[in-house]
A and B are shown apart, each in its own frame.
Chain A
Amino acid sequence: MPPAIGGGLTGSELRPRRGRCAPQAARAVGRDTVRRVAARSLKRPAWSSRSFEAAGRWATLAVVTLLSFATRFHRLDQPAHICWDETHFGKMGSYYINRTFFFDVHPPLGKMLIGLAGYLSGYDGTFLFEKPGDRYEHHSYMGMRGFCAFLGSWLIPFAYLTVLDLSKSFPAALLTAALLTFDTGCLTLSQYILLDPILMFFIMAAMLSMVKYNSCADRPFSAPWWFWLSLTGISLAGALGVKFVGLFIILQVGLNTISDLWQLFGDLSLSLVTVGKHLTARILCLIVLPLVLYVTIFAVHVMVLNKSGPGDGFFSSAFQARLSGNSLHNASIPEYLAYGSVITVKNLRMAIGYLHSHRHLYPEGIGARQQQVTTYLHKDYNNLWIIKKHNTNTDPLDPSFPVEFVRHGDIVRLEHKETTRNLHSHYHEAPLTRKHYQVTGYGINGTGDSNDFWKIEVVNRKYGNRIKVLRSRIRFIHLVTGCVLGSSGKILPRWGWEQLEVTCTPYLKETSNSIWNIEDHINPKLPNISLDVLQPSFSEILLESHMVMIRGNNGLKPKDNEFTSKPWHWPINYQGLRFSGANDTDFRVYLLGNPVVWWLNLVSIVLYLLLGSTIAIAIKRGVQLPAELEGLTRVLLRGGGQLLLGWTLHYFPFFLMGRILYFHHYFPAMLFSSMLTGILWDTLLQLCAWGLASSPVGRRIHAMGIVSLLLATAYSFYLFHPLAYGMVGPLAQEPESPMAGLRWLESWEF
Chain B
Amino acid sequence: MLRFLERPLVVTADINLNLVALTGLGLLTRLWQLSYPRAVVFDEVYYGQYISFYMKRIFFLDDSGPPFGHMLLALGGYLGGFDGNFLWNQIGAEYSSNVPVWSLRLLPALAGALSVPMAYQIVLELHFSHCTAMGAALLMLIENALLTQSRLMLLESLLIFFNLLAVLSYLKFFNSQTHRYENGRGSSHQQQVTCYPFKDINNWWIVKDPGRHQLVVNNPPRPVRHGDIIQLVHGMTTRLLNTHDVAAALSPHSQEVSCYIDYNISMPAQSLWKLDIVNRESSRDTWKTILSEVRFVHVNTSAVLKLSGAHLPDWGFRQLEVVGEKSRGHHESMVWNVEEHRYGQSQEQEERELELHSPSQVDISRNLSFMARFSELQWKMLTLKNENSEHKYSSTPLEWVTLDTNIAYWLHPRTSAQIHLLGNIVIWASASLATVAYILLFLWYLLRRRRSIWDLPKDAWSHWVLAGALCTGGWAFNYLPFFLMERMLFLYHYLPALTFQILLLPIVLQHISDHLCRSQLQRNVFSALVVAWYSSACHVSNMLRPLTYGDTSLSPGELRALRWKDSWDILIRKY
Contact = CB atoms under 8 A, between A and B. Distances in A.
B328 interface: yes
B313 A560 contact: no
A560 B486 contact: no
B315 interface: yes
A365 B390 contact: no
Interface in A37-91: none
Interface string B439-459: 000000001001110000000
Contact of B254 (A268, A433, A509, A561): A561
A578 B390 CA distance: 38
A509 B569 CA distance: 9
A656 interface: yes
A560 B328 contact: no
A732 to B, nearest CB: 14
Interface in B35-78: none
Contacts of B327: 563
B574 to A, nearest CB: 11
Contacts of A561: 250-251, 253-254, 308-310, 323
Contacts of B447: 265
B118 to A, nearest CB: 34
14 contacts: A265-B447, A266-B451, A268-B452, A272-B451, A365-B313, A365-B314, A433-B390, A435-B390, A494-B252, A561-B250, A561-B309, A563-B327, A575-B329, A656-B484
Contacts of B451: 265-266, 268, 272
Interface in A481-510: 494, 506-507, 509
Given A435-B389, A494-B252, A656-B484, A262 B450 contact: yes
B253 A366 contact: no
Interface in A426-440: 433-436
- For the complex, would chain B's binding face be called helix, strand, loop or mixed by DSSP majority? loop
B518 interface: no
Given A265-B450, A658-B486, A560 B315 contact: no
B565 interface: no
Contacts of A537: none
Interface string B300-333: 0000000011100111000000010001110000
Interface residues of A, number: 24
Nearest to A363: B313
Interface of A: 262, 265-266, 268, 272, 365-366, 433-436, 494, 506-507, 509, 560-563, 575, 656, 658, 746-747
A494 B250 CA distance: 10
Contacts of B450: 262, 265-266
Name, among A365, A366, A561, A658, the residue most crowded by chain B CB atoms within 10 Å (CB to CB): A561
A507 B253 CA distance: 36
A495 to B, nearest CB: 11
B484 A560 contact: no
A643 B78 CA distance: 58
Given A561-B253, A656-B484, A746 B328 contact: yes
A560 B329 contact: no
Nearest to A263: B450
| Among all A-B residue pairs, the 3 with the closest Cβ atoms | A561-B251, A266-B450, A507-B392
Contacts of A265: 447, 450-451
Given A265-B450, A560-B251, A656-B484, A366 B329 contact: no
A739 B32 CA distance: 79
A658 B487 CA distance: 12
Nearest to A749: B328
B311 to A, nearest CB: 11
A265 B327 CA distance: 59
A640 to B, nearest CB: 27
Contacts of B310: 560-561
A670 to B, nearest CB: 22
Nearest to B316: A365
Contacts of A507: 390, 392
B392 A560 contact: no
A506 B390 CA distance: 11
Contacts of B392: 506-507
A266 B451 CA distance: 6
A433 B328 CA distance: 33
A365 B316 CA distance: 11
Contacts of B391: 435
A575 B331 CA distance: 14
B329 A563 contact: yes
